[in-house]
Structure 1
Amino acid sequence: MSVIPKTPSNLMSKITEATKAITLNASDIDIKSAELIIGNDTVAPIGITYSNQNETASLYFAKELPVGDSALLTMKFSGELNDKMKGFYRSKYFTQSGEERYAGVTQFEATDARRCFPCWDEPAIKATFDITLVVPADRVALSNMPVIEETTSSDGLRRLRFDRTPIMSTYLVAVVVGEYDYVEGKSEDGVIVRVFTPVGKKEQGLFALEVATKVLPYYKSYFNIAYPLPKMDLIAIADFSAGAMENWGLVTYRETFVLVDPKNTSLIRKQSIALTVGHEIAHQWFGNLVTMEWWTHLWLNEGYASFVEFLCVNHLFPEYDIWTQFVTDMHTRALELDCLKNSHPIEVPVGHPSEIDEIFDEISYNKGASVIRMLHDYIGESDFRKGMNIYLTRHQYKNTCTEDLWAALQEASSVPVAEVMSTWSKLQGFPVVSVDAIQKDDNKMVLKLSQSKFTADGSKPVEDYTWVIPITVSTSKHPDKIAKTFLLNKKEMEVVLDDVGPNDWIKINPGTVGYYRTRYSKEMLEKLIPAVSNMELPPLDRLGLIDDMFAMCQAGQTSTAEVLKLIDSYRNETNYTVWTAITNSLSNLYILISHTELMDYFNIYGEKLYRPVADRLGWEAREGESHLDTLLRSLVLSRLVSFRCKDVINEAKKRFRNHIDGTASIPADLRSTCYKAILQNGDESNFNEMLKLYRSTDLHEEQDRISRALGSMSDVVLLRKVIDFAMSSEVRAQDSVFVIVAVAVNPKGRDMAWQFFKDNNQKLLEQYQGGFLLARLIKYLIENFASEEKAIEVEKFFKTKQFSGTERTVSQAVETIRLNAAWLQRDLDSLTAYLTKQ
């Protein structure tokens, strides 16, 4: 296979400065020859040098190139079809008969187009691309644009010339060559949409096709700008490091993020696929049509697409109640990371490619989306849409920085957007709003508010900022309505609330829209507790309350036992997302308790808490039950298995046996629960039985489920076998990380997994080549320790071993270890007293 660049004469560029050298980005590229055509002259370089550190190639000429002349640079070069899942790489797959084959795939974001062809590989240096591929006759070949010419040579190879792309950044160029089936549709606005799947699995592309064909016209209407390309291809790639990549007109996906098997795909996975398709297609406008000037402004791409994906799924699937899930999936995860001293602002200066890889994190995505959601709420839907259209229209096919976005939204809304939002994009962290209420008369309440930077450990912040915070308030008079909105733009403020009596409760940040924590006075909190018990408070407010309280607990501003007492008021809870928030908080507590002798007591506490909702839902889905109840059943039964609840484990085991012998298949939503029940206290025969199940399926999602469940085993010898399995050729490189992580987050495997990493760090470094996967592995391997000794050990190890692109991840994880240690030391006695009474 070869890539033949086509360079028409009208693409010649001007020489703007006198120079004897031309430097381009190139990595793992060997330039065989080069020619520079200037007017009627052709000049060859006298030498070519490469810089591995800077990932560049420099062409040197004998004479200075004349300023003002037009020039055309042509090169012949060769490169490596690598196994690194970046640049131009090969992706292994198996035919239906079991034969091993490879597809050629590109993944260029952030700085890997330079691994495929020499170029100026920066987002602001845009160009059009004319791509020609020469491929075997029986292979599917795709790129950003449709094929406009196809010829076949005498040796049977096909030569495909693709239409010229719009002007775009190098990181969005894409090529895929392999064997695929596809399903095709057309959006109502006339865009051809195809979803490419492994051969024989095209029906698994139908759900993504349905979403994509509906999303395109929705975004066209929402942004009031049409999708600018004639086609939209989505393709499932077997070996793929991220979840998906928004290449213009050819979006690539990990198989588990685009393929839906009606019998074997869980509801939570299907929901995730809808969000991912919505996210990547949003990028066709945010990122592709309008691109950030430099990676410092990455959040303009990722924060916006992460917000808009929820808009889209809410429009297509209102039954998902997706905005409630936004808080646990996006908002809370951002807050947890952003309160660390080793967090970073949304906008962060970056230089070397390894620094760029590190900011593809919960700050750029989740905090970005959460801040946009807060702004959307503050200026209102109509002005927000108007501002989006101004921004996209004004800057289409160009590059922007954050201030361009604020200017467009300000123009649309007449609200001082830049003044309100600059603190959120430029400052690290977020505020905690402390609030007290004083009754003035029977019908008037004075709120006393103050703000300071929230720190995970409760320490006084080194730099305490003043944010401009949009504050909203609701009361028991109208729980679902906003009683007052105002800006808290100084350290302290008093606000009068009318129509509030002495027995009324007051909720700050209703809907958990504002990106801040709230700390209530004791009296205000006591009035809110009954509203939680009787579910008078809306779900997002019940969720936000428990989430804030657990954060205060970690920071040492309230005791863990007090928060567990607050959880008692949630025993009547029926909402899936609220239970997700409780589960996330208890999972953090589980890490601490795993370092103590309290686990049996904690399991008793957990069983008592989750049992009523499990009894209500049962094991069987009811006809017409809500989407959220299906998700809740899976969550609650899984937790009860983790809490060693005997009858739930026995039922899960029985269902697993029926599944294995073909009597009754386990619904996809409950498989992880049943697999964990078998493996949790399982022996080698259970391990081998699960490996057999893994080998019997070719559905990536099912293999993923099984391999992660293996990490729940209690026998350290077997857990080591799980890691060996993860590192074998049976598990794809992008999946093996998550199998090792499943072992590392298991208290029984924590020390062993860390030792494995130390012993095999060079092998792992070579396998994952830095970037996202390695950072994710390191994070979960080390952040669940809880002693100063471990913090020092980890710090020493990473001082002697350099893993480029993981420095911030290591700092954050070490900080988390120390937080765990302080939390445990502070609360162990009161926690012991509380749990032993249970």
Structure 2
Amino acid sequence: AAVLINGGGTGYYRSGYESTAIQNLAHGAAVSLTPLERIMLLSDVWASVRVGRQPVGDYLTLAEGMTSDRTSAVLSTVFNQLNFIGKYLVNDVDREGYRAWVRTTLTPVAHDIGWESVPGEREDNKVLRARLLAVLGVNGRDPEALAVARKLSEQTLRDASSVDSDLAGAALTVAATNGDAAFYDQLMAGLRAAKTPEEYYRYFYTLPDFTDPQLLGRTLQFAISSDVRSQDALGLISGVMASSAGQTLAWDFVRSHWAEVEKAGGPFASAQVVVSAGSFCDAQLRDGVSDFLSAHRVPAAERAFRQSMERINGCLDLKTQQSGQLASWLEHRGGGSATRGASNSK
């Protein structure tokens, strides 16, 4: 049996494990380890993945072992990394395989907790419900989660106080990810009719979550319009830059509207754009950013520029190290090329 190295989770150091040890720990982690130990183990394995010492499949194996856990802090740790993996490490050809794995792994958790709150339930369940809706909807494209999100979003737009705020935020994000022009228009109408700042910004910061290029283009144009305050403009632009679906569109927009972006975003706009570019994980975008910012220097953001380049290069290195292994792991789990073959035959 595998032994947890940092028992109690009190040591200020990282621990490394062989793949077989992780498999053994995963089998009983949700029962035999404390929540702190589970979080520490997840963090240690993820840290090893990030530096190339551990295959990402080991982390996903460990994540599978955490699905009987109902501690929001533990599962949120898992969800954060599933979001990262889905955004940065999954190749397009393995996308459906990854989504299928997310659905298979997390749908039982969602069914156990339920999509509706019940009297007397733990506060943790409310947090988990929102996080599950987001990860199943965005990374799993689970039909049930998508339907629940659309229903809750429409309910939120009718009466913002009728849906728990965390759940409403998750629902709007998921609905936008799969949203059409009609839903975009609903969201804009809700934004303009918002009665409180909280309600306004909930809708406002959902706009970058759409994946339709035309709708993201509308968001970028809206960001530099007189309808958006200068302190808010860069939030929208940065949101689209951070989006897998919108990053190329957003960078092309920033390049071609540089003066307008600087004017709309205020004195720190160009520096914020430099920071936001660090969310890219694409060699062509990296080179484009480097060339453009070398020609349009931002003196106040020289250090931020170097850091953004380092982040992009680090992400590219990680993707090179892990994407192939992830594809093999997904195929072994019944996704990957098997899923691709099924989808290609349709």
Q: Answer whether contact 2:99 2:141 (CA < 8 A) is retained.
A: yes
CA distance in 2, matches of 1:659, 1:629: 20
Structure 1 residue 721, shift from structure 2 partner: 0.2
Q: Which residue of 1 aligns with 2:261?
A: 764
Q: 2:209–2:243: 8 Å Cα contact kept in structure 1?
A: yes
Give TM-score, length-normalised by structure 2: 0.85
Confirm or deny that 1:704 pairs with 2:201.
Answer: yes
Q: Is the counterpart of residue 505 in structure 1 residue 3 in structure 2?
A: yes
Task: Please state how far the C-alpha of 1:529 moved relative to its aligned partner.
Answer: 3.2
User: Per-residue CA shift, 1:524-575, capped at 9, x if unaligned?
Assistant: 65654344142x2111221121122122112111112222222221121211
Match of 1:744 among 238, 241, 244: 241
- Matched with 1:557 is 53
How far apart in 1 are the matches of 2:279 and 2:209? 18
User: Do the aligned residues in 1 keep the contact of 2:191 with 2:204 (CA within 8 Å)?
Assistant: yes
Cα distance in 2 for residues equivalent to 1:814 and 1:629:
39
In the alignment, which residue of structure 2 is the partner of 1:351? none
Report what 2:299 is aligned to.
804
Distance 1:713 1:651 in 2: 17
Q: Which residue of 1 aligns with 2:110?
A: 614
Q: Which residue of 1 aligns with 2:222?
A: 725
Distance 1:732 1:513 in 2: 47
- 1:669 & 1:543 partners in 2: Cα distance? 22
Question: 1-side partners of 2:292 and 2:11: how far apart?
Answer: 40
Structure having the larger proportion of residues in helix: 2
Cα RMSD, aligned residues only: 2.7
Per-residue CA distance 1:88-122 (angstroms, 9 max, x = gap):
xxxxxxxxxxxxxxxxxxxxxxxxxxxxxxxxxxx
Structure 2 counterpart of 1:732, one-letter code: R
* Letter paired with 1:725: F
Does residue 326 of structure 2 align to residue 828 of structure 1?
A: no
Structure (1 or 2) with the larger CA radius of gyration: 1
Cα distance, 1:599 vs. partner? 1.7
Q: Which of 163, 166, 178 is 1:681 aligned to?
A: 178
Higher strand residue share: 1
Q: Following superposition of structure 1 onto structure 2, how do residues 346-745 of structure 1 map, counting pairs within 5 Å?
A: 505-508=3-6, 510-511=8-9, 514=12, 516-520=13-17, 525=22, 528-534=25-31, 536-593=32-89, 595-642=91-138, 643-660=140-157, 665-745=162-242
1:641 Cα deviation after fit = 1.5
CA contact 2:177–2:209 (8 Å) conserved in 1: yes
SS in structure 2 of the partner of residue 517 of structure 1: coil
* Equivalent position SS for 2:299: coil
Q: Using the alignment, how far apart are the partners of 1:595 and 1:800 within structure 2?
A: 32
Displacement of 1:610 in angstroms is: 2.0
Which stretches in structure 1 are left out of the alignment for 5+ residues? 1-502
Is 1:753 aligned with 2:261? no
Q: In the superposition, relative to structure 1, how do residues 510 and 754 fare at CA in structure 2: closer, same or farther (>3 Å)? A: farther
CA gap of 1:568–1:786, structure 2 versus 1, over 3 A, is: same
Give the match for residue 121 of structure 1.
none
User: Residues 721-763 of structure 1, C-alpha deviation per residue, up to 9 Å, x if partnerless?
Assistant: 0111222233332322222222222211110111112222333
* CA shift for structure 1 position 689: 1.3
Segments of 5+ residues of structure 2 without an aligned counterpart are 336-346
* Equivalent pairs, count: 332
Match of 2:290 in 1: 795
Q: Following TM superposition, by how much is the alpha carbon of 1:697 offset from its aligned partner in structure 2, in angstroms? A: 0.8
Following TM superposition, by how much is the alpha carbon of 1:766 offset from its aligned partner in structure 2, in angstroms? 4.2
Cα distance in 1 for residues equivalent to 2:112 and 2:152: 19
Retained in 1: the 8 A contact 2:137–2:174? yes
1:818 counterpart = 2:301: no
Cα distance in 1, alignment partners of residues 178 and 19 from structure 2: 43
Structure 1 residues 585 and 658, CA, compared in 2 at 3 Å: closer, same or farther? Answer: closer
Cα 1:659–1:790 change in 2 (3 A) is closer
- Within a 5 Å distance, the mapping from 1:59-98 to structure 2 comes to none
Q: Which residue in the other structure is 1:785 paired with?
A: 281
Post-superposition offset of 1:614: 1.3
1: distance between equivalents of 2:116 and 2:179? Answer: 25
Contact 2:52 2:318 in 1 (8 A): yes
Provide the C-alpha distance between the structure 2 equivalents of 1:682 and 1:699, rounded to a whole number of angstroms. 24
Q: Structure 1 residues 690 and 519, CA, compared in 2 at 3 Å: closer, same or farther? A: same
Q: 1:524 to 1:531 in 2, by over 3 A?
A: same
Deviation, 1:576, is 0.8
AA aligned to 1:651 is V
- 1:579 deviates by 1.5
Structure 1 residue matching 2:5: 3-state secondary structure: strand
- Tell me, yes or no, if the aligned pair for 1:723 and 1:740 is still in contact at 8 Å: yes
Cα contact 2:30–2:65 (8 A) shared by 1:
yes
Q: Distance in 2 between matches of 1:655 and 1:736?
A: 27
CA contact (8 A) 2:224 2:264 kept: no
The answer to whether the Cα contact below 8 Å between 1:754 and 1:782 also exists between their aligned partners in 2 is no
CA contact (8 A) 2:232 2:265 kept: no
Distance 1:826 1:761 in 2: 35
TM-score (norm 1): 0.37
Contact map agreement 1:783 1:814 (CA 8 A) in 2:
no
User: Residues 530 and 657 (structure 1 numbering): CA distance in 2 closer, same or farther, change over 3 Å?
Assistant: closer
Cα deviation 1:348-377 (Å, max 9, x = unaligned): xxxxxxxxxxxxxxxxxxxxxxxxxxxxxx
Which SS does the other structure have where 1:583 is aligned?
Answer: helix
| CA deviation after TM superposition for structure 1 residue 831, in Å | 1.5
Which one-letter code corresponds to 2:3 in the other structure? W
Cα distance, 1:645 vs structure 2: 0.9
Check whether the contact 1:519–1:548 (CA below 8 A) recurs between aligned residues.
Answer: yes
Letter of the aligned partner of 1:807 in structure 2? E
Question: Among the aligned pairs, what percent are the same residue?
Answer: 22
- Paired with 1:523 and 1:663, the residues of 2 have a C-alpha distance of 49
Secondary structure in 2 matching 1:598: helix
1:110-121 mapped onto 2 (5 Å cutoff): none
- Distance in 2 separating the partners of 1:521 and 1:654: 44
The offset of 1:691, in angstroms, is: 0.5
Q: 1:827 to 1:677 in 2, by over 3 A?
A: closer
* Structure with bigger RCO (C-alpha 8 Å, 6+ apart): 2
> Tell me, what secondary structure is at the counterpart of 1:817?
helix
1:666 positional shift: 2.5
Q: Is the 8 A contact 1:655 1:664 kept in 2?
A: no
Alpha carbons 1:546, 1:581 under 8 Å: kept:
yes
Inter-partner Cα distance in structure 2 for 1:525 and 1:598: 24
Q: Distance in 2 between matches of 1:680 and 1:691?
A: 15
State whether residues 107 and 136 of structure 2, in contact with CA within 8 Å, keep that contact through their aligned partners in structure 1. yes
Secondary structure of residue in 1 paired with 2:328: helix
Instruction: Indicate the larger mover: 619-628 or 716-725.
Output: 619-628
Letter in 1 for 2:146: I
